[in-house]
Structure 1
Amino acid sequence: MYSSEIGEATEAVDVSRAGSVRLDDVTHRYGRGGEVFTAVGPVDLTVRAGEFLVLVGASGCGKSTLLRLIAGFERPTHGSVRVSGTEPRPGEAAGVVFQTPRLFPWRTVGGNIDLALRYAAIERARRPERRAELLARVGLEGTEKRRVWEISGGQQQRVAIARALAAEKPLLLLDEPFAALDALTRERLQEDVRRVTDRTGRTTVFVTHSADEAVFLGSRIVVLSRSPGTVALDLPIGLPRGDVDAEELRGSPEFTELRAQVSHAVKSAAAA
Structure 2
Amino acid sequence: MSSAEIAIALDGVTRDYGQRGSVVSAVGPVSLSVPAGEFLVLVGASGCGKSTLLRLIAGFEQPTLGTVEITGRAPRPGESAGVVFQQPRLFPWRTVGGNVELALRYAGVPKADRPHLRDELLDRVGLAGVSDRWIWEISGGQQQRVAIARALAGDSSTLLLDEPFAALDALTRERLQEDLRQVSHETGRTIVFVTHSAEEAVFLGSRIVVLTDRPGTTALDLSIDLPRSGVDADDLRTSAEFTRLRAEVAHAVKSAATARHTSRKAAS
TM over 0.5: yes
Conserved in 2, the CA contact under 8 Å of 1:110 and 1:145?
yes
Conserved in 2, the CA contact under 8 Å of 1:27 and 1:41?
yes
Q: What is the Cα deviation at residue 16 of structure 1?
A: 3.4
Q: What is the Cα deviation at residue 169 of structure 1?
A: 1.1
Correspondences of 1:1-272 after superposition (within 5 Å): 12=1, 14-17=2-5, 20-272=7-259
Q: Secondary structure at the match of 1:233?
A: strand
Q: Residue 9 of structure 1 aligns with which residue?
A: none
Alignment gaps of 5+ in structure 2: 260-268
Greater RCO, 1 or 2 (C-alpha within 8 Å, sep 6+): 1
- How far, CA to CA, are the matches of 2:243 and 2:58 in structure 1? 32
Q: Secondary structure at the match of 1:33?
A: coil
- How far, CA to CA, are the matches of 2:19 and 2:179 in structure 1? 42
User: What CA RMSD, in Å, does the superposition of the two structures yield over aligned residues?
Assistant: 0.8
- How far, CA to CA, are the matches of 1:130 and 1:108 in structure 2? 16
| Percent of pairs with identical residues | 71
CA displacement 1:51-86 (0-9 Å, x = unmatched)? 000000000000001100000111100000011011
Q: What is the Cα deviation at residue 267 of structure 1?
A: 0.3
Conserved in 2, the CA contact under 8 Å of 1:15 and 1:48?
no
- How far, CA to CA, are the matches of 2:99 and 2:231 in structure 1? 31
Q: What is the Cα deviation at residue 244 of structure 1?
A: 2.0
Give me the TM-score of the superposition, normalised by structure 2: 0.95
> 1:244 is matched by which residue type in structure 2?
V
Q: What is the Cα deviation at residue 31 of structure 1?
A: 1.0
- How far, CA to CA, are the matches of 1:271 and 1:15 in structure 2? 36
Conserved in 2, the CA contact under 8 Å of 1:195 and 1:243?
no
- How far, CA to CA, are the matches of 2:238 and 2:63 in structure 1? 40
Q: Residue 262 of structure 2 aligns with which residue?
A: none
- How far, CA to CA, are the matches of 1:31 and 1:242 in structure 2? 45
Conserved in 2, the CA contact under 8 Å of 1:102 and 1:160?
yes
Aligned residues: 259
Q: Secondary structure at the match of 2:146?
A: helix
CA displacement 1:128-173 (0-9 Å, x = unmatched)? 0000000000000010100000000000000000000001310000
- How far, CA to CA, are the matches of 1:174 and 1:15 in structure 2? 24
Q: Secondary structure at the match of 2:3?
A: coil
Q: Secondary structure at the match of 1:16?
A: helix
Conserved in 2, the CA contact under 8 Å of 1:199 and 1:242?
no
Q: Secondary structure at the match of 2:86?
A: coil
CA displacement 1:221-254 (0-9 Å, x = unmatched)? 0000000000000000000102321011001000
Give me the TM-score of the superposition, normalised by structure 1: 0.94
Q: What is the Cα deviation at residue 39 of structure 1?
A: 0.3
